[in-house]
Structure 1
């Protein structure tokens, strides 16, 4: 596996990925899909440093928010902003913002308590296990690293418990009440399509250039145009555009099949945008003349900002999953999967047979087959490793929140989404927007109903 970075240098990036409460549940292939994640602590939950005399900075319904709490959260926020390369505002200004965040959270936690919400020990343990796994550690190793970095594990667990409570409350009070109608979807699509700004249009083009020298004679120009026309005709008949680009194109990207990749339309030559913006995916434009020569263009994909892709790349993969536990440490799981990988690569074993025999996942009976998957269908750590493999290739052991995986990619394909599939994606986008608006309104309302008394200003 790639060299493991220290937990301190990662700054607890696993927390930012979110923790799935279902971790450790039934061993099903479906569990790879991030259906219920918590967006937890943004940055490291750092315990306060050397303590000064503490004091109360605010009361929220008679419950105190202390200066040491502000200092601890402030340090965490500063670490996150620094990692992101963002400019830090004045520290006293940031401290006031952090205090307001703590006041709002305190009011919400009190609401969760009034509603009887609780985080039991098994749920908290699963969350802690998930964080440890994402950092490629056992729980014991994770706790030792926490102590070595000068952090209090009880402080971290309490922060984690509070964030889970907040998520549960928000799901009950906000997410469960958000409704998306067909009219909402229609309005969203209409609004996005009415945006004619080129900055909101993205095009994925493939390109063939038949270059015309400045000194070319009319006869040479005619011959070069005919060459470009042959390439265009073959492309329209269905010949592989990448092969045609390697055969005909004089452009530097010709050797890579002529692909530009997805780019904003305002960063492409105007002649390319004009020729392709009204095409459908897969259609050909050209030859089009420019000072450089004759261009043949294929529209691979077109995307309006805010709308889902019309086509997606799907991957069909298999995996063998081992779940660390009392009888199998994470390191042992990695070692065992490394051995399986070597056996498969040498021809001594079959991936499907090993999956049926050893994989602790619902896909085991199908030889580890996970079926065709679209982007975003699996948890990020699994999907990132899968996307880095070409068809037929196997990964090194990959640690996710569900265990350790050996992944093999079997096939890839480009699929055009049906109207129904596109609408379902839009439904999700609209739901996210409505939920975000509803969350802000709910949080402001709850804050306005809380009794907040400010005492001394925080001293970071």
Structure 2
């Protein structure tokens, strides 16, 4: 949910702008994407949101043309991903959405009602905010499904990363990095490396001169985070794409790196800040669960109702958790153990399950909740200090390596999606 949370409040200004946008009798088609359209009002709303989120005054401010170009590409990319979600049959139902909103509220120290009040206080519509979060979740699912099969991690790569992590110990640092990508493609979509290099050298000179990097990103970057000023957030050297890690390791705050050539174009990086590595919670949890998967013959409501009935039976002493898990859980591996998932760090689970077990008191049976796997009830049995074994180090290395490769593949996949689409920009 972290990614969704980070974006969640960012959509509020856009929704408020939408509410305030004067309605006209005719809303022109701005862009055609395959068989669907993006309206002029949608484009204008995003442009206004970008203006409100950044300082667009001053000599170095992004031009109106630059902001419009970036907003256009953002909406095209979103539309393509939502079209893919439809083709893949990805549907984010209300129960799943409600859990996502509860997680957003919790991570911002709010109740869901408190979150709703904050959203509506800006003039935005709560219903539209919910739909924006639903869209973000759907796009995340499309990305995950599409990129998983493109990522391969060899045992040798994992072993090498384990060795690096072990050698670095507690001395590793994390970097707040901003990024600009100068695409190899020209305005006609054809590769033109000499022209791209010339543009990249100009941007690099401006960045090293001290021009605002975020505004340079909006003006020049082809990366998907251009409208966020190229901000990549905090990451360790090991979690970065290898090309970036080699250029930034042991560098200090303010360092500008470039030009870095990849298959997509030329990259320019800036270290915005450096800090000591944030230590993960040194804790493992042992829990058990019962999973009910909805199907064509078992509705969401019935799955949730069944788990409520199981919970009542356990609490009344009519049946034990282990008996019900063995008889009913769709997770056959844990069902054979009475639902017992064994010892593990919470971060190995999907976000909804992870967040639930991370905050539960032992020996309390949760209310039914939904994840991508189906409906669950869970009970935390015990907690203990983490067992730092070779297996745990391997799991950490796998997670870091997967995250690195995911980032590397994301831009490539989105570019392929864009290249294979029919797009007609009309205004």
Q: Report the TM-score when normalising by structure 1.
A: 0.45
**Higher helix proportion:** 2
Q: Report the TM-score when normalising by structure 2.
A: 0.47
